[in-house]
Amino acid sequence: MVEQGSTSATPATSAAPSAATPPGAAPAVAGVAERARPGLAERTTDTLERSWRPVALLFACFAAWWAISATRLVEPYLVPSPGTTLRVMGDKAGYLWQHTWVTTYETLLGFVIAVVVGVFAAVVMVYSSTVERTLYPVLLFAQVVPKIAIAPLFVVWLGFGIAPKIVIAVLIAFFPVVISMVTGLKAVDPEMIELSATMGAGPLQTFAKIRFPASLPHLFAGLKVAVTLAVTGAVVGEFVGANKGLGYVILQANGNLDTPMLFAGLLVMSVIGVVLFVLVEIAEKLLLPWHASHRRDAATTTY
């Protein structure tokens, strides 16, 4: 028998916060666990975990290349060995660096112009259906036309300087920037737009605070594609008419049957594309730490 005045036991499912909850922290929600922020050791381990597979694949490709050249499955004048190619790159480092800088400059300038013009065109297309219906078919037509076919026209019109290479790089990199930006701007939740209008935000404020930030993940996806295509555009322009640049190096090596130099030019061109892609990815992680693909401390369900 329970004595009068005694208090009843508190149920185990009481809504009171646990004593283990830190002062000022929000009470834990049933079925949801907050993932702790990773430390330096965890981030290093995660980076190594994500990096060893592509590095292993790269070594496997070089091993296969070396095996093909060592066993003479293909004649050396067709496929030089990795050692010969790397030796040529070391002996001609100054020559390659001079032409690499030219191609990198053309690529970066064409990429920047494509980004600026592409973002502006995408914004105009999203805010004006008339412009979108008028401009979109033209953009599609310009994209499907082979750039190698029209590159000689730009050489005739603009000369043998740097201008035609930049124009071709812009044309190739422009389309993915526009498409990704248009997709990002249209992907905004309409309820967010209505809420901002209800709170008195004007079109410019809505764009700066809601539309543009929400479109950045889509934009960066397009930028990763565009920056690698810009390298291709610059080299295609150098193929048509140039006296410097990696495209010129590859053409000269091909004409002289200098396959080690040809492979060296291809390797350097590939490195440029990879480095620029990584730089865009780093910029994305720095500018979009809030995006789900970059967060390591997101809450996860436990059931």
Name residues whose C-beta falls within 8 Å of residue 118's C-beta, 6 or more positions apart in sequence: 173, 174, 177, 178, 181, 226
Name residues whose C-beta falls within 8 Å of residue 230's C-beta, 6 or more positions apart in sequence: 107, 108, 110, 111, 114, 169, 170, 172, 173, 276
Round to whole Å and give the CA distance between 7 and 153. Answer: 93
Round to whole Å and give the CA distance between 83 and 219. Answer: 40
Q: Residue 298's CB: how many other CB atoms inside 10 A? A: 8
10 in a structural domain? no
DSSP state, residue 299: E
User: Which CATH number covers residue 215?
Assistant: 1.10.3720.10
188, 215 contact by CB (below 8 A): yes
181 in a structural domain? yes
Least Cα distance to 223 among 284, 153, 135, 163 occurs for 284
pLDDT in tens, 116-151: 999 999 999 999 989 989 988 888 888 888 888 888
**From start to end of 166-302, where are the E strands?**
299-301
For the chain, what is the domain count?
1
DSSP state, residue 111: H
207, 196 contact by CB (below 8 A): no
153 in a structural domain? yes
232 in a structural domain? yes
DSSP state, residue 17: P
68 in a structural domain? no
Average pLDDT in the chain:
82
221 in a structural domain? yes
Higher-pLDDT residue of 44, 283: 283
Q: Examine the pLDDT at 20 and tell me if it is beyond 70.
A: no
17 in a structural domain? no
Round to whole Å and give the CA distance between 137 and 140. Answer: 5
258 in a structural domain? yes
Which domain, by its residues, includes 244?
94-288
- Averaged over 30-35, what is the pLDDT? 53
Q: Examine the pLDDT at 2 and tell me if it is beyond 50.
A: no
Q: Apex CA 57: angle with CA 56 and CA 63, to 5°?
A: 90
Q: 0.85 exceeded by the pTM?
A: no
Q: In sequence order, what are the beta bridge partners of 300? A: 33
- Averaged over 228-243, what is the pLDDT? 91
